[in-house]
């Protein structure tokens, strides 16, 4: 097949005014995103921290983006860190609690006071 015989496609012009219209009605994709964020908000956030926004009242992309911004900020604030742990609380541990946690870290020993060895798995590769 030669280049002259190859099928061609007409490329439409990009309308910047239409692409950035914040007052446009919400699409089904944005509606689905709102549903997911609303569900995440009610699962992950304590009741006092929630936005209490009825997502059925959101009609435009501007309203949706404001809601998405608020909920995303809250989810990051109350979410887990990259290593999977919750953010550190400001409450300090007491001296007794520190001693107890240090005792837990000491390895266990058998009756004779010798450290126990880990059991090996019978399956080897």
- Max mean pLDDT among 18-27, 83-92, 108-117 falls in 18-27
- Here the contacts of 95-101 (C-beta below 8 Å, separation 24 or greater) are none
Q: CA-CA distance, 110 to 75, in Å (whole number)?
A: 47
Tell me the pLDDT tens digit for each residue of 33-54.
999 999 999 999 999 999 999 9
Q: Is the pLDDT of residue 78 over 80?
A: yes
- Mean per-residue pLDDT for 48-76? 95
State the pTM of this model: 0.54
Domains of the chain by residue range = 14-78
Q: Is the pLDDT of residue 13 over 60?
A: yes
Specify the residue for token string 């604030």.
77
Find the largest Cα–Cα distance for the chain. 90
Assess contact for 65 and 22: CB atoms under 8 A. yes
Q: Is the pLDDT of residue 55 over 90?
A: yes
Q: Is the pLDDT of residue 94 over 80?
A: no
């Amino acid at each position: 097949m030669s280049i002259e015989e190859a099928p061609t496609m007409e490329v439409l012009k990009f309308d910047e005014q239409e692409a950035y219209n914040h007052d446009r009605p919400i699409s089904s994709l944005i509606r689905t995103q709102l549903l997911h964020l609303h569900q995440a908000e009610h699962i992950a956030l304590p009741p006092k921290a929630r936005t209490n926004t009825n997502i059925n009242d959101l009609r435009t992309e501007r309203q949706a983006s404001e809601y998405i911004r608020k909920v995303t900020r809250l989810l990051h604030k109350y979410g887990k860190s990259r290593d999977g742990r919750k953010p550190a609380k400001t409450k300090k541990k007491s001296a007794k609690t520190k001693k107890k946690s240090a005792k837990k870290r000491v390895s266990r020993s058998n009756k004779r006071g010798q450290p126990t060895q880990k059991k090996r798995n019978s399956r080897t590769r």
